[in-house]
Structure 1
Amino acid sequence: MARIAYVNGSFVPLDEAKVSILDRGFLFADGIYEVTAVLDGKLIDTPRHMARLERSAREIGMRLAETPDRIEAIEQELIARNDLTEGVVYLQATRGMEDRDFLPSPDLAPTLVMFTQAKALVDSPVARTGIAVATVPDIRWGRRDIKSVMLLAQVLAKQEAQRKGAADAWLVTEDGLVTEGASSTAWIVTQDGTLVTRSKSHITLPGCTGDALADLIAEMGLTIDFRPFSVEEALAAKEAFNSAAGSLILPIVSIDGHPVGTGTPGPVTTRLRDLYIEHARR
């Protein structure tokens, strides 16, 4: 079945989905995006994703083409039209299209595009084995809390990780502290069982999957320490993992070639992944 995309009010075959070369998202990375997981044909954590989308739009002074309720309805229609059972819906919103100028017109009509991707989220081979990550200098801009389509630094980080034989990258500041994964929230489990991840600020993107996970962790009676951690602390941890809509909870078994804990997915990470999947399916 041909994939169907959504472009500015119309559902069209994916190979016919197009935006202008004058779109500001293409020319200036003047846009934002969201990725929402789909399990059993249903959207996961949609209120969190829509709240983050609205916040990102406010932070760059951009209006959205549709309301959050209408966006959710379009996403659901895309899931149905593509017969998607498991995977993600990608959404990109830009300030719109006009002749190239750094300053946009105040009445510019915004662009909104969406498409789906089928992907194994629950029965993921790398979730069973865990992944290796490589640390890479964090060279991104100062407003990482905005989910901007300006992702060149993340592309370069993932390429560097691949060259080092790793599946993903952790971004690290000059003082040796981990900010987050190249497309995920970074977590560790200390030797005393405390979970550690950064608190919300302009330094990191607030993760929707991570926020939902934090609620589940609180329900389990476990402790979360919202603070930075160093690469050295991560290497001394019992466990490490990433959280993201496109991979849910993903165990990390080595960092820069050094094993984390036993070098296999740990019990806390495994349990949290199971709990998150149960939460998602509810």
Structure 2
Amino acid sequence: MVQIDEGEAKPAIPGDATLLDLKVELARRTLMRCTLCAQRCGVDRISGDRGVCRLGTQALVAEHFVHIGEEAPVNPSLLVSLSGCGLRCRYCQQGEILNPDRVEGEVLEPSLWAALDTSGARSLSFAGGNPDESVYPILRFLNAAPPDWKLPVVWNCHGAATLETLRILNGVVDTWLPDYKYGDETCARHLSGIDGYPDAARKAIGTMLDQGVPVIVRLLVLPGHSGCCHVPVLRELAKLSSKGDLRISIRGQYCPDWRIRPQDGAMTGRPSGEEIEALCTQANALGLRLVTQ
């Protein structure tokens, strides 16, 4: 885990800057033409422009608590849930926090450290929404961590990360926890409003593995999407598995929430036990390691 120094990075890099100071400044500069997620909006968030995520330079904390339902290697985890996301998944279970303009929360500032209850936590997870778009304020927050802070950092993200973001976070993240939502371009566009998701997620997960830390890929089972999305995803993951410590978390918690409509067919129901079991069998047949909650 990266050693965190107290203090905030300045816009001008001092001669005694730490590696984390440099990463903070690099993240800040990326906001001037934002490419922190695969939407690549290119807006100047420092000047007040807004992209798909609707975020500026600050991160808004919707909630924080010790979550006991995470994957076994990181559970229980102190979860810091942030508003804002570059995807618009119509089944999002956190849809109410996607737009930071409509969320009553607190700004992610160094003062939050005093309010965090770490009782029983084995890790610190940044989630959302999606944390990629808030990498700058997150790094500033970590740069102000108490000297005795020791919990490893988990990055719980939607999977469509850019290489720019992954490079900034290299050495900061101790466990990657990405989704790999779709193996089909049309499904990604229709359900999450993003082009190029399958390729972006595949490249991102490969890059995460190259960083030499554990990667736990979440596969949320979407009803009716095994053939078009989930089986192709498992096959891609099998190709990547030799690159590092890769485990798969097949999750059956999908609910037809938020903006799922009656005309969405199978997506209006829950995934069947047979669908979930078949994907677990397929993963085992491909030699993938499954992890439980």
Give the TM-score category using the shorter length. Answer: under 0.3
Which has more helix, going by share of residues? 2
TM-score for both structures, normalised by structure 2: 0.26
Which has more strand, going by share of residues? 1
